[in-house]
Amino acid sequence: MDLGLTDRVYVLTGASRGLGFATAECLVADGARVVLSARAPERVAEAVERLGGPRHAIGLTADLADPETPQRLVVAAREHFGRLDGALVSVGGPPRGTAAQATDEQWRQSFETVFLGSVRAARTVAGALTDGGAIGLVLSTSARGPVPGLGISNGLRPGLAGVAKDMADDYGPRAVRVLGLLPGRIMTDRNRELFAATGDAEAARAEAEAGIPLRRIGDPAEFGRVAAFLLSPAASYVTGVTVPVDGGALRGL
């Protein structure tokens, strides 16, 4: 199936590795071009090279907590590629620990990046889309059910799912789609860190896999393919929803 991605341009935050980079790979493989951002310049440069260089991808060193970041990404897309068709907004996971254990400072920092940074990026990109487009927020299955030991995520992700739904209502008349993606256990550096933090990574992985109907941890490319489809014109009637990519782990219908 032709997803209609040829020559379309997307910005992706937090995309030097993990789910963001996997999505960038799928977009580029289908003919799109991408503008990546992340906080580590060496990782941004490596990601751009792996995607084929400036004909296919460019990168910015940027932090989503910086209010200037979204506009910088919009400008870079237009100046380098001449257009903008949407975005995948992803940020690193907040600190581990329960909601009660998290300090005020951890809550504030996470709110600035995970919540407000994502809202600002979605709002800025939506304002720049003049001919429709799509914005995907990378959330977590914690948007539908708390994940043990991830209290800050459990607090912020459901709010972002509500924001995506609200924005879909606002921007729908301009043919701008907004949706959330809910990755479950996918083998990223974040999940490796969470498994290692238990003290027995192999046992933690086996326990996690036992709770997934497909009985395995997902591969980032499996998320990337779903995200690329939802951002593409082929998904032109999909908006205002949250889409799990979790191997069936969520139990809600």
Instruction: Parse the chain into domains and list their residue ranges.
Output: 9-245
Helix axes 220-231, 18-29, angle to 10 degrees: 60
Q: What is the pLDDT of residues 188-225, one digit of tens each?
A: 888 898 889 889 999 999 999 999 999 999 999 999 99
pLDDT of residue 1 exceeding 90, the answer is no
Give which of 137, 140, 128 is closest to 168, Cα–Cα: 137
Superfamily of domain covering 9-245: NAD(P)-binding Rossmann-like Domain (3.40.50.720)
So what's the pLDDT on residue 162?
97
Predicted confidence band of residue 64 (pLDDT cuts 50, 70, 90): very high
Contacts of 159 (CB under 8 A, 6+ apart): 115
The Cβ of residue 205 has, within 10 Å, a number of other Cβ atoms equal to: 19
- CA distance to 54, 62, 119, 186, per residue, from 137 (Å): 25, 18, 9, 16
pLDDT score for 211: 93
Comparing C-alpha atoms, which of 242, 237, 241, 233 is closest to residue 10? 233
Whole-prediction pTM value?
0.95
Tell the burial category of 125 from Cβ atoms under 10 Å away from its Cβ (0-12, 13-18, 19+). Answer: buried
Tens digits of residue pLDDT in 2-19: 999 999 999 999 999 999
Alpha carbon distance 139, 23 (integer Å)? 14
User: What average pLDDT does this structure show over 15-27?
Assistant: 97
pLDDT value of position 252: 87
User: Would you state the structure tokens that stand for residue 214, as one six-digit string?
Assistant: 């497909």
Q: pLDDT value at position 191?
A: 85
Q: Tell me the per-residue pLDDT of 69-87, one tens digit each, with 9 for 90 and over.
A: 999 999 999 999 999 999 9
